[in-house]
Amino acid sequence: MPELFDLTGKKAIVTGAGRGLGAAMAHALAASGAHVTLAGRSPGPLEEVAGAIRQAGGMADTAVCDVTCRTQIDGMVQAVTERQGRIDILVNNAGITDRGPLTGVSDEAWDLMMQTHLAGPFMACRAVLPEMLQRGSGKIINTVSVVGELGRPNVVPYATAKGGLRMLTRSLATEVAGSGIQVNGIGPGYFMTEMNRQIMADRAFFDKRVARVPAGRWGEPEELGGTVVYLASRASNYVSGQIIYVDGGLTASF
Ligand code: NDP
């Protein structure tokens, strides 16, 4: 049974892997045997995570790459392909957030949200797919969000972008399923990461958010590990176009 989830010899890229959910998913993929390239904007944190993975006996490299920039994505995918021979697993995880009513959203903030969560994954998928299609196998995993499913106030650009990423996942899955490539999404609920630092700092607001979760608590980043390994492994070879919500029952309760 464990060999179903074995990623030995697999080459993976995780974007936004310098901290939070990306770092946790990179750790889990490496612990299952994958060689992981950690991609992101800040070299320091990426090197720190890669060092920790290597210390734990895993294989990890880093690549500085802003996912809003086509030339950086294409360059990163080309460099990793040259170095590793191929890319088996792409995790589109890099993300940002912003809170506030729609009337206060600038054109620039809107564009950055779409660039980061929609154009970035689109460009990364486009860059890795030709070689995956030629080989007839590959796994693409997009970090979506419960917010892209449910709709929430004061995060309209974020929710819109995640809703779009959800549809990118489902549509692309149908386009490439016949070529042996699975495209799926992970939908985290509330997780204890830097992205939610502001919420966590406001005790009353935080407690209200916790109360909404049937599990009675927020998730720890490591709790995404099993799902990303499953979606990256041959255990999920007939799973296509699905979003797996890892949310302590949040989506089920709406
Ligand atoms: P963090 O803020 O902790 O981490 C986000 C990571 O993305 C950072 O490493 C950041 O690195 C990187 N990043 C941001 N913009 C870019 C960019 N343009 N190019 C490359 N890297 C970038 O967030 P989380 O770990 O919490 O979130 C990870 C993903 O999960 C996001 O897509 C988020 O929307 C999603 N998510 C998170 C939830 C949560 O509760 N935490 C819930 C639902 C979804 P740097 O700034 O150094 O470049």
Residue 253 resides in a domain: no
CATH of the domain at 218: 3.40.50.720
Average pLDDT value for residue range 139-148? 97
Q: How far is the CA of 134 from the centre of ligand 1 (A)?
A: 31
Residue type, 233: S
Is residue 38 within 8 Å of residue 49, measured between CB atoms? Answer: yes
Residue 80 resides in a domain: yes
Q: pLDDT value at position 1?
A: 65
Counting the structural domains of the chain, the total is 1
Residue 150 resides in a domain: yes
Reported pTM: 0.98
Q: Is 238 a catalytic residue?
A: no
Q: How far is the CA of 178 from the centre of ligand 1 (A)?
A: 31
Residue 254 resides in a domain: no
Asked if residue 116 has its Cβ within 6 Å of ligand 1, the reply is yes
In whole angstroms, give the CA distance from residue 148 to residue 162.
Answer: 5
Ligand 1 atom at shortest distance from the alpha carbon of 18: 9
Q: How many CA atoms lie within 13 A of 138 on its CB side?
A: 26
ipTM for the predicted complex? 0.99
CB crowding 164-177: b at 16 or more within 10 Å, else e:
bbbebbbebbeebe
Tens of pLDDT, residue by residue over 80-118, are: 999 999 999 999 999 999 999 999 999 999 999 999 999
The encoded tokens of residue 135 equal 């080989």
Residue holding tokens 């106030």? Answer: 153
Q: How far is the CA of 195 from the centre of ligand 1 (A)?
A: 7
Tens of pLDDT, residue by residue over 124-143, are: 999 999 999 999 999 999 99
Asked if residue 142 has its Cβ within 6 Å of ligand 1, the reply is no
Is residue 128 within 8 Å of residue 171, measured between CB atoms? Answer: no
Asked if residue 245 has its Cβ within 6 Å of ligand 1, the reply is no
Residue 108 resides in a domain: yes
Residue 66 resides in a domain: yes
Residues 6+ away with beta carbon under 8 Å from 138: 87, 88, 89, 90, 128, 129, 132, 176, 180, 181, 182
Tens of pLDDT, residue by residue over 157-174, are: 999 999 999 999 999 999
In whole angstroms, give the CA distance from residue 116 to residue 94.
Answer: 7
Q: How far is the CA of 103 from the centre of ligand 1 (A)?
A: 24
Q: pLDDT value at position 200?
A: 87
Mean pLDDT for all residues in the chain:
97
For a mutational test of ligand 1's pocket, the pick from 49, 195, 217, i.e. the residue with the most ligand atoms closer than 8 A to its C-beta, is 195
Asked if residue 95 has its Cβ within 6 Å of ligand 1, the reply is yes
Asked if residue 219 has its Cβ within 6 Å of ligand 1, the reply is no
Q: What range does the domain containing 161 cover?
A: 2-248
Asked if residue 15 has its Cβ within 6 Å of ligand 1, the reply is yes
Q: Is the pLDDT of residue 220 over 90?
A: yes
Residue 239 resides in a domain: yes
